A and B are shown apart, each in its own frame.
Chain A
Amino acid sequence: MTEQSVSRRDVLKLGWGLASAAILGEGLLIGLRFLAPRVGEGEFGSVITAGPTDSFIAGSVTPFNEGRFYLVRLEDGGFLALYRRCTHLGCSVPYDATRGEFVCPCHGSAFSIEGRVLNAPAPRPLDMFPVTVQDGQVFVDTGNPVERDVHEAQSVVYA
């Protein structure tokens, strides 16, 4: 047997150290779980029935305040649901019908009717919500905003 290189004191010290670390860790974990956001049922975040397809004329933009989105019908009849939250810093972007653009009041970002960035500082197009068309009705899933770096034609939904 070699010398006892680990004394009883060292073992105890290690034990207390580990116990303290465990308590701290548990405390931290409990605290974080306690504070974690809880997702409420219903309201914003559910699938919203926007209405029959033919109630939206081509080239129109219809706001849905409770769903926080605009239902856009492009000139060619395609649908897009744009999250109205500015991709720059979160302001609510109104639609300027005379210019045919979304213009953010906060720092002046402008977006086309498809959500493309026309004017910085917004770093990416407006986020989209998935649109589905079933039995002539338009449904928008507000639970899953889709981020995109550029607007792509295949994200437009046709009836």
Chain B
Amino acid sequence: MNDNLPEARPGLVQRLWRSVQRDPLSPESDRDRMRLVMNNLILHLHPSKVAARTLRFNYTFGLGGLLALLAVIQVVTGVLLMFAYTPSPDSAYQSMLALQTEVPFGQLIRNLHHWSANLMIVAIVLHLLRVFFTGGFASPRQFNWVLGIILLLLVVGANFTGYLLPWDQLAYWAVTVGSSLIGYIPLAGDAITRLLLGGPEVGAATLTNFYGLHVAVIPLTLFAVMSFHLWRVRKDTLTVPRRADEPGDVPVEKVTTIPHLVSRELIFALVMLALIIAWAVVFNAPLEEAANPDHSPNPAKAAWYFMGLQELLLHFHPTFGAIIIPGLALLGLAALPYLEPDMEAQGIWFRSIQGRWIAGISIVIGVLSAALFVGLDEVLLDLPALLPFLPTVISNGWVPLAGILLFLLAYYEGLYRLGATACEARLAIFTLLLAAFFTFTIIGIFFRGEGMALVMPWSVIP
């Protein structure tokens, strides 16, 4: 506003508007146009230019963006739910019933919250896989991978704490079983469980604790870590996709973020939002009978995303099934980027052409060996009975774990001898374990019936 001519002073409304939006929204000169772009909030989130190739949908599949969208949906629907929900054992279930029958659009809002929470688990695992298989975790993005692991834990934590809130049979027993797992942590287990549950069993104090965690602690932490994660993505830029035979150092074509990236993001978000709402209109979130501490349903299953863990528990001593094996897996996951000091294959799906073969074979071996393990353990292999002189922690813990580690070591060595690079061999181990875990999850969901006996899927699904 330092024009020389004594121009007419802008009116109050105009001045107020300018205090909000400094640059004209319909720019007339190139300079105004440039300023509108450069001063835009969007460029706080995104770099001003991005590599054209990263815009291809079949590289990121929009998964990171989808996760951010889902987090926003959860906050909006979650805050609405808070107005209809009472966190006490006497009234929680009643308020859920009222929500579904009396509150206008109550069922829809609950469905949206429920299905988005589930979709979040699917999307976060797929995002992790995308990043892993394109080598997106290697230097300099190592720490951002670790932040991702923290996000993964927070999303699982949000799901676990939210699961209890409806206070139906499903909620009560899934949380009873889930929190008993924590009790197997050596030394501190009992103290932690008591603090979390606010007493010896799941009860009124547990509901208060979980509510506080669910609506305040976890969302605030999630958004803080998410901001950090997105900021690192902006600073490090995305890995650039390339074919397996392309060298990594060719110059990449860049395009401006506005409009090329933001328009794609907007359209993708709109399409996903429409799909999620359509799904939530058609499918209702389940609600069983009110929680009854006297009666565990049969079978009492955890939430579907814990089925892999539950399957482990059927085969291992709880200290191993609940603590040592998942702990090692998580630690390995977090340490992964630090084991690959410099990855030359960033941006190439599965590292190389050979890597694609190796990944495929590892999936097959992982699925078959997991299924075989479950089958064998069911009919033949009763280690505690075979080794009656050992405590079950050893016979049903250290012994099978050692067997599995030996198997993995042999697989790694075998691939290495056959000419795989160390990088591809690590890819193979990761893929095999993952395939095995997915197989466990599928078995847990579809093949476990009453008393957790192995049955055919058609007798599990009601």
A residues contacting B by CB (< 8 A) are 35-40, 44, 65, 68, 85, 88-94, 103-108, 120-121, 123
Contacts and interface: CB of A to CB of B under 8 A. Distances in A.
A11 to B, nearest CB: 35
Nearest to A107: B452
A36 B177 CA distance: 22
A91 B300 contact: yes
A126 B15 CA distance: 76
B299 A121 contact: no
Given A37-B195, A89-B177, A107-B313, A120 B392 contact: yes
B396 A120 contact: yes
Contacts, number: 77
Interface stretch (B5-13, B196-204, B235-243): B196-204
B317 A90 contact: no
Interface in B92-135: none
B300 A121 contact: no
B205 interface: yes
Given A89-B177, A123-B318, A108 B201 contact: no
Nearest to B299: A105
B459 interface: no
A85 B183 CA distance: 13
Contact of A39 (B176, B199, B384, B392): B199
Given A105-B296, A107-B452, A90 B177 contact: yes
Interface residues of B, number: 36
29 contacts: A37-B195, A37-B205, A40-B199, A88-B180, A88-B318, A89-B176, A89-B177, A89-B181, A89-B313, A89-B318, A90-B176, A90-B177, A90-B183, A91-B176, A91-B296, A91-B300, A93-B296, A105-B296, A106-B177, A106-B296, A106-B452, A107-B310, A107-B314, A108-B451, A120-B384, A120-B396, A121-B314, A123-B392, A123-B393
Contact of A36 (B173, B195, B300, B450): B195
B417 interface: no
B296 A121 contact: no
Given A105-B300, A106-B299, 10 more contacts: A35-B209, A38-B198, A89-B181, A89-B313, A90-B183, A91-B177, A106-B300, A107-B313, A107-B314, A108-B451
Contacts of A93: 296
Contacts of A40: 199
A36 B300 CA distance: 29
Contacts of A36: 195
Nearest to A117: B392
Contacts of A38: 198, 205
A105 B195 contact: no
Contacts of B173: 91, 106
Contacts of B317: 121, 123
A103 B451 contact: yes
Contacts of A92: 293-296
A28 B334 CA distance: 27
The 10 residue pairs across chains A and B that have the minimum distance between CB atoms: A105-B298, A90-B180, A89-B180, A91-B296, A106-B300, A37-B198, A89-B177, A108-B451, A92-B296, A90-B176
Contacts of B314: 107, 121
B194 interface: yes
B296 A108 contact: no
Contacts of B299: 105-106
Nearest to A119: B451
Nearest to A124: B392
B297 interface: yes
Nearest to A45: B200
Interface string B283-320: 00000000001111111100000000010011001100
B271 interface: no
Interface in B50-109: none
B453 interface: yes
A37 B297 CA distance: 28
Contacts of A94: 295-296
A95 B453 CA distance: 19
Contact of B201 (A35, A85, A88): A85
B326 to A, nearest CB: 14
Nearest to A143: B200
A21 to B, nearest CB: 23
